[in-house]
Structure 1
Amino acid sequence: MRAIIFDFFGTLTDPAAESERLTTFAATATALGVPADRFTAAMAESFPRRATGVYGGTRDTLLAMARACGAEPSPARLAAAVRTHHAGAERVRRPRPDAIRTLSGCGTGATSWGFSATVRASCARPGRARRTRA
């Protein structure tokens, strides 16, 4: 078996989209009713745990972050924060302009490298895991 492994963030995604992450954090903080600077600090500090799924899905993660900021959001606030955060995540995950073409070149065909290409992104929210075949 031969494989090529691509990192998702910054390799397949457009690094310029990262500039939207702080805007997303600020909007999510507002939806939760917590100060944006405290929320951003909590998100930064918790990154290793969030990246490995310690808190669970988005809802549980945002609840943990709100609590780390000293807030207990209502169910309505938490639901709004989840929607806001998901919308922001879609913007941050936009692909590089050449990512699809590059991945397509990994597949079978006369001009390809002869690899079977599958993209798996564990960063997708539960129920929306992304898997594409190039």
Structure 2
Amino acid sequence: MSFQAVVFDLHGTLIEDLLTARRDDLLAQMAATLSVPADDFAAAWQQTGKRRTDGGFDTVEECVVHICQALNARPDAERIEAAVELRIGYIRSRLRPRHDAVETLTRLRSLGLQIASISDCGLEVPMVWFETPFAPLIDAPLFSSREGLRKPAPALYLRACERLGVEPVDCLYVGDGNSRGLRGARDVGMTTVLVAVPGAMRYDDGQFEAAEWPGPRIAALKEIIDLVN
């Protein structure tokens, strides 16, 4: 089948998943900076997950202040800014491409394919996106916190197609199976492939579909080249 575009998931596909242990360390550091109990802060942060991912906060600062108020804490602006910088720095450090991601994206572009990415994420990812190697390689990056939609909402995939100027049937979607992303892409008419890198750490959000996925699978991003040729 001939494709005009490839649409990628981000976390667990183009980059490694955000590991739970490192995330917990970060939250403890943020809590210490804000002088609030670490366990309470971590629990409150997790409770805001859907709102952060859906774009319910206009800034990261707003989220931090919201949590502090819920914990009856009133840190000064300097502490809030320091906690925000910890979070942004963590996300910046995690947006490192898999070893074959840049090579694969570059090759796809050389073949004339357009590229989009769809990520369920907070505001920190789009804030630092243009610092990453992905920025010049991905034509249409979509972030749930900016779009107000999360996978597997059909409108999110259709929005990616609209920005690329293609139809879903002309797209190959590549994802690791989290957030029901593969099913969402398939339901709008995209061809889908699961990337399951051996030994990769995975963050399961409760909607992980890899084990039951009946469609094609690859073990490395570079295998996509054979699928589109």
TM-score of the alignment, normalized to the shorter chain, above 0.5: yes
Residue by residue over 1:33-68, the C-alpha shift from the partner in whole angstroms, topping out at 9 and shown as x without a partner, is 111111111111111100011122111111112222
Distance in structure 1 (CA, Å) of the matches to 2:23 and 2:136: 25
Q: Gapped runs of 5+ residues in structure 1?
A: none
Residue 116 (str. 1) matches residue 120 (str. 2): no
Greater alpha carbon shift after TM alignment, 119-128 vs 21-30: 119-128
Q: CA deviation at 1:15?
A: 2.5
Residue 132 (str. 1) matches residue 136 (str. 2): yes
Distance in structure 1 (CA, Å) of the matches to 2:97 and 2:122: 14
Q: CA deviation at 1:11?
A: 1.3
Change (3 A) 1:21 1:133: same
Report the TM-score, using the length of structure 2 for normalisation.
Answer: 0.50
Distance in structure 2 (CA, Å) of the matches to 1:39 and 1:14: 25
Change (3 A) 1:96 1:82: same
Two-structure CA RMSD over aligned residues (Å): 2.5
Query: In the TM superposition, what are the counterparts of 1:85-96 in structure 2 within 5 Å?
Result: 85-96=87-98
Residue 101 (str. 1) matches residue 103 (str. 2): yes
Q: Indicate the structure (1 or 2) with the bigger Cα radius of gyration.
A: 2
Change (3 A) 1:11 1:54: same
Distance in structure 1 (CA, Å) of the matches to 2:127 and 2:19: 24
Q: Please state whether the residue corresponding to 2:74 is helix, strand or coil.
A: coil
**CA contact 2:7–2:115 (8 Å) conserved in 1:** no
Report the TM-score, using the length of structure 1 for normalisation.
Answer: 0.80
**Percent same amino acid at aligned positions?**
28
Residue 33 (str. 1) matches residue 35 (str. 2): yes
Aligned to 1:56: 58
Q: Gapped runs of 5+ residues in structure 2?
A: 139-229
Q: Please state whether the residue corresponding to 1:117 is helix, strand or coil.
A: strand
Aligned to 2:68: 66
Change (3 A) 1:76 1:62: same
Change (3 A) 1:55 1:96: same
Aligned to 2:201: none
Q: Please state whether the residue corresponding to 1:50 is helix, strand or coil.
A: helix
Change (3 A) 1:56 1:77: same
Relative to its length, the structure with more helix (as a share) is 1
Distance in structure 2 (CA, Å) of the matches to 1:28 and 1:38: 12
**CA contact 1:32–1:77 (8 Å) conserved in 2:** yes
Residue 12 (str. 1) matches residue 10 (str. 2): no
Q: CA deviation at 1:16?
A: 6.4
Residue by residue over 1:86-113, the C-alpha shift from the partner in whole angstroms, topping out at 9 and shown as x without a partner, is 112222333222221222222124xxxx
Q: CA deviation at 1:117?
A: 2.7
1:84 counterpart (72, 82, 86): 86
- Corresponding residue pairs, total: 130
Change (3 A) 1:94 1:39: farther
**CA contact 1:59–1:78 (8 Å) conserved in 2:** yes
